[in-house]
Structure 1
Amino acid sequence: MKKLLLISLLCSFLLVSCNKKETTQEDIYPTTLETTTEITSQEIEATTTTEAVTTEAAATTTAIDTNSPTTDDEIIAYATEILQLIKDEDYAALSEYVSDDYKLGLSPYSNADFATLVYFTAADVVSIPTTPTIINWGIQDGSGEPILLKPSDYFAEYVYDQDFVAAPNISVDTVIGTGNMIDNTSNAPIVDHFVEFHFPSFDPQYDGMDWESLRLAFKIDGLGDYKLVLIIHDQWTI
């Protein structure tokens, strides 16, 4: 009888132990898997958030308006970009800097009469290479004869007649080249800023009397963009 009782107690003990072990194993693995899944989700969410912030920052950087320079260095860089378009004769691209609200005035010398200047619209700028019309641009220094040229020839003789992109002297809102001619650049009614590209001389034998300058003048429109409103060529005059 005692043996049967001992055997019965032993069996009950073993059964309870097995049940406990089985329950513990079932509890551990689901908990571990759930925790791992939760951590992975958090990491993914954090990574996604970081990527979103980075993308937003990149978009903000890209959105900076390069047509609205503020410092002198930025204004010079902006004017140099435009000057390069003139050098390359890329008049379609140049026209994008011209507003029909102001147009683009062209003067062969610094004594510009802004009431009688030749003014181009953006469409006129695009057509510079193909326009056959002879235009009176003003009076030639020395001879007193009218400057009669079609637009492409005018740009070759009175705009980019020197490699102004490589000019050694550049200024913002300050006239460098001066002579006996009255300079009206600073008196232009629609000019907010201008950039001068200046060569002090080309041949030492002329003792600086062969200097040349090109000035690009800008008006800031209602959006804060710099619009090209004047191109003034200047040089030593008789």
Structure 2
Amino acid sequence: MMRCAIAFALVAVFCWGCGGNENMKRITLDSLVEDKPAPQPVPPKDSVAVQQQPGSPARDSVMLVAGRVLQSLKNKDYRSFASYFHPKDPILFSPYGHINVANSKKLLAKDFLESIEKNWTLTWGVYDGTGESMKLKVIPYLDKFVYDADYLSSDQVAFDQVIKKGNALNNISEVYPGLHFVEYHIKGIDPKYNGMDWRSLRLVFKMYNNEYYLVAIIHDQWTV
């Protein structure tokens, strides 16, 4: 009888030990799951920030077209230049960093080319400081207020960022919200001005049928 009681006690202890171990394992696994930090939701990407990163598809496409625009201007190949005009929206020409939407000249590609062919004098806005009407033929305007320096060899180039601001309010982000632009900046032309004769050219682009086209050219400089 004593042997049976001892055997029964050993079996009970063994069974309790198995159950206890299983319970301990369950608690240990549960505690590990509870201690593990819950996965955090992935925040949505800022599309503007992503597009501004070097190597992004938008940046690469815009920079490629911008380079071609400058090359056509440097070569004075105005028909090629006009091929980059937006097909639907007239391109705005601003002679100064502050865009005067009401007074700035706006031209479609066909009107631009016709103005050159017929040697028309156009009103491009008003002169800064005097307020007089800016009346020039197309090519003289381009030489003075567009490709007035070798922007293909610019000291600095920026995508969707203004490098330098002149003595007029820069309102490119207000006039063209959400559009991409490239700024080409030259630190100075004549050494005697010690950089005070800097100038910039900003090209604004808008997508049409999955291609980027020019919608504005803004010329900026510090008047010495």
Give me the TM-score of the superposition, normalised by structure 2.
0.69
Root mean square deviation, CA, Å: 2.0
Moved over 4 A (4+): none
The equivalent residue for 2:30 is none
State the AA in 1 paired with 2:180.
Answer: H
Report if the CA contact (8 A) 1:177-1:200 is conserved: no
Amino acid at match of 2:65: Y
Alignment size in residue pairs = 169
2:110 is aligned with 1:93 = no
Query: What is the CA–CA distance in structure 1 between the aligned matches of 2:58 and 2:86, rounded to whole Å?
Result: 22
Q: For structure 2, which runs of at least 5 residues remain unmatched after alignment?
A: 1-55
Q: Aligned match of 1:208 in 186, 195, 209?
A: 195
| Matching residue of 1:228 | 214
Q: Distance in 1 between matches of 2:164 and 2:65?
A: 21
Deviation at 1:190, TM superposition (A): 6.7
CA distance in structure 2 between the partners assigned to 1:70 and 1:128 by the alignment: 35
TM-score (norm 1): 0.65
Q: Which moved more, 1:132-141 or 1:155-164?
A: 132-141
Q: CA deviation at 1:92?
A: 1.5
Matched, 1:218 2:210: no
| TM-aligned CA deviation for residue 180 of structure 1 | 2.0
- Pairing of 1:1-238 with structure 2 (within 5 A): 70-189=57-176, 192-221=179-208, 223-237=209-223
- The amino acid of 1:213's aligned partner reads S
Question: 5+ residue gaps in structure 1?
Answer: 1-68
The answer to whether the Cα contact below 8 Å between 1:98 and 1:227 also exists between their aligned partners in 2 is: yes
- Cα pair 2:186 2:198 within 8 Å, conserved: yes
Q: Max radius of gyration: which structure?
A: 1
Give, in angstroms, the shift of residue 165 of structure 1: 1.1
CA contact (8 A) 1:212 1:234 kept: yes
> Aligned AA for 2:159?
V
> What is the alpha-carbon distance in structure 1 between the residues aligned to residue 177 and residue 119 of structure 2?
29
Residue 165 and residue 99 in structure 1: after superposition, are their counterparts in 2 closer, same or farther (change >3 A)?
same
Give the percent of matched residue pairs that are identical in Structure 1 and Structure 2.
37
